[in-house]
Amino acid sequence: MITFTRQSVLVLAAALLTASAASAQQTVKVGLIMAYSGQFADTAAQMDNAIKLYVKQHGDTVAGKKIEFVRKDTGGPNPDVAKRLAQELVVRDKVDILAGFTLTPEAFGAGDVSAEGKKFMVVMNAATSAITTKSPYIARTSLTIPQLEHPFGQWAFKNGLKKIYTMVSDYGPGIDAETWFVKGFKDAGGEIVGSVRMPVANPDFSAFVQRAKDINPDAIFIFIPGGAQPIAITKAMQERGFPGNKILGQGEITMDDNALKSMGDAAVGIRTVFHYGWEHKSKMNQDFVKAYNAEFKRNPDVFSIGGWDGMHLIYEALKKTGGKADGDSLIAAAKGMKWESPRGPISIDPETRDIVQTVYIRRVEKVGGTNQNVEFDKIDAVKDPAKAK
């Protein structure tokens, strides 16, 4: 029979505690906060698919540390829920990094927790400019709306459009898009001949399109959510004789392959601005699209690329710190980091911790008899103009 003295029991307990601590030190926990259910569940799925694919291709160990994920579902754009979940992740689950953020309210809600807990936070989608100001530990790998729309407004004037009418959905992103497109267009010398803000859930665009047609601008700038609305507004334009080449907008209008197909010939000629599309021509992107399709039976999108590059930032920052996962070390490593993404060259602005990237101008064309976004112009190394000094 084996007997234990009090001293041997204490030694064994200490050894177990040491082993447990050593094991914990060999793990980096990433807390993912996203809308895994509800209206934006597919957005979260596309982000999470890319996260899973990145880990599959690059392994789950970085700088000697095993990467573990804890996923939390906000159910939608609720900042209070996001804040509570972030607190749970930091206090109870002991995560080292906060990441994900399908929507702006989620990022805003978690930002305070990042600041207070000094946790590195990677925003992989939410696009409101001010998000990175919520915590000095936030870096973003998606986009900001001003980053797309301000150069697009300038581009429109330089490419022969002098009078534009704006039609945007009446909510934060729509108002941001209108504000920054108008600023870029007017600063370049253009004239806004009219504008309207439409209900977010608007099913019928007929009256809005007729009002724009009566003014007869050179083009109409549109910002609407994805889903069913792009098909509805394109149909309304077609019925009132607006050709596709008089429509400008942010990429959501023509992002969805099925919606683009449903639009038919009415979509041909629509010009959009975006930071990524699966159609982007590069060897890296072709490999990314092929792998993504093989794994998930669908094309990647802007949400996917934010998740993919978010994981790249986390992995490379950990490599630079030698596995140190405290917020100060990781954000210092992230600042100024540059890499080649499937979307093209990107970097993290060392001053604002926001992404710097190429902005692409695309046009819907028939490719093999099917509607497709085709890049035909670009603006390199665009920073967020809302933070420009």
Co-location of 151 and 230 in the same domain: yes
pLDDT at 21: 43
Same domain, 261 and 364: yes
Question: Are residue 138 and residue 246 in the same domain, yes or no?
Answer: no
Quick one: tokens of 213? 């047609």
Residue-wise pLDDT tens digits, 269-319: 999 999 999 999 999 999 999 999 999 999 999 999 999 999 999 999 999
What is the Cα–Cα distance from 197 to 228, expressed in whole angstroms? 18
pLDDT tens for 45-63 read 999 999 999 999 999 999 9
Looking at residue 304, what is its pLDDT? 98
Neighbour order of strands in the sheet with 138-140: 61-62, 65-73, 27-34, 97-100, 120-123, 138-140
Q: In this predicted structure, what is the pLDDT of residue 6?
A: 54
Residues 331 and 300 in one domain: yes
**Same domain assignment for residues 196 and 289:** no
120 and 269 belong to one structural domain? no
- In terms of domains, do 91 and 214 share one? no
Does residue 98 sit within a domain? yes
Structure letter (DSSP) for residue 26: T
User: Is 39 inside any structural domain?
Assistant: yes
> Which residue would you say has higher pLDDT here, 36 or 230?
36
For 152, the domain range is 146-274+359-387
Q: Compute and round to an integer the Cα radius of gyration of the chain.
A: 23
Q: Which of these, 354, 322, 323, lies nearest to 337 by C-alpha position?
A: 354
> In this structure, are 100 and 51 located in the same domain?
yes
83 and 228 housed in the same domain: no
* Phi-psi map region of 5: left, alpha, beta (phi>0 left; psi -120 to 50 alpha): beta
Identify whether 241 is part of a domain. Answer: yes
Same domain, 125 and 60: yes
When divided into structural domains, the chain yields a total of 2
| 193: its two tokens | 């001949």
Residue 6 lies in a domain: no
The CATH number for 244's domain is 3.40.50.2300
Report the predicted TM-score, pTM, of the whole model to 2 decimal places: 0.90
The secondary structure of residue 264, as a DSSP letter, is G
Residue 64: inside a domain: yes
250 and 156 in a single domain? The answer is: yes
Q: Kindly tell me if the per-residue pLDDT of 81 is higher than 90.
A: yes
Same domain, 349 and 363: no
Examine residue 319 and state whether it is found in any structural domain, yes or no.
yes
The answer for 221, left when phi > 0, alpha when psi is -120 to 50, beta otherwise, is beta
Residue range 157-166, pLDDT digits in tens = 999 999 999 9
Q: Is residue 1 part of a domain?
A: no
Specify the pLDDT at position 334. 98
Burial 310-337 (b: 16+ CB within 10 A, else e): bbbbbbbbbebbebbbebebbbbbbbeb
In a domain, 5, yes or no: no
Q: Which run of H or E residues covers position 330?
A: helix 327-334
pLDDT tens-place string over residues 217-244: 999 999 988 767 888 888 898 899 889 9
